[in-house]
Amino acid sequence: MSYVTMKDMNCYGDAEKTLTDDVNTAELCKAKCDADTTCQNALFVQKTRHCFLKSNLATCVKADGEDSHLRLTKYVKLKDMNCYGGSESAMEVRTAEMCQAKCDAEATCQSAVFVPKTSYCYLKADISTCVKSTGEDSYLNLVRQKK
């Protein structure tokens, strides 16, 4: 698997697994993430040599000496986050996967926001900011992110 490293950033997420034994490098931490089907993000803290495996992302904050390694997949889920930007369209769908498929079909779609409670999907042409929003999950399309 490929990863993008966010140096001195701690990216928080759910279902953390803390590994302290036999994981003393960032490379070993990423290998543990590769072996765990629920892992999207591996955080390695150099000073303590702790590895944290996370199943999704909620937010990233500055944290000296902590490097987050985000697994490169097509979409990264930001749980309970709404990413604002230019909305292309909104539609009713049944699942987050269907919302992502709608984004895939739009050449300019950069992210999809899915609200499970209302089954609504919002496609975004660009992203200006992401904010905490309980019950709304944003899916960033990493393939199409602007440089």
pTM of the prediction?
Answer: 0.56
**CA 32 to CA 9: how far, in whole Å?**
19
Sequence-separated (6 or more) residues with CB below 8 Å from residue 23: 29, 32, 44, 49, 50, 51
* H runs (alpha helix) in the chain: 26-35, 96-105
Sites in the chain below the pLDDT cut of 50 = 147
3-state secondary structure of 53: strand
**128's torsion region: left (phi>0), alpha (psi -120 to 50) or beta?**
alpha
Query: Which DSSP string do the residues of 69-96 spell out, in sequence order?
Result: EEE--SEEEETTEEEES-EEEEEE-SSH
Q: Please tell me the predicted confidence (pLDDT) of residue 147.
A: 43
Q: Please tell me the predicted confidence (pLDDT) of residue 144.
A: 63
Q: Where are the domains of the chain?
A: 3-72, 77-141
> Which tens digits make up the pLDDT trace of 90-105?
999 999 889 989 988 9
At the topology level of CATH, where does 3-72 sit? Hepatocyte Growth Factor (3.50.4)
3-state secondary structure of 28: helix
Residue in 11, 18, 17, 100 with CA at minimum distance from that of residue 58: 11
Query: 3-72 and 77-141 share one CATH topology?
Result: yes
What does CATH list as the number for 77-141? 3.50.4.10
CA angle 5, 8, 13 (to 5 degrees): 70
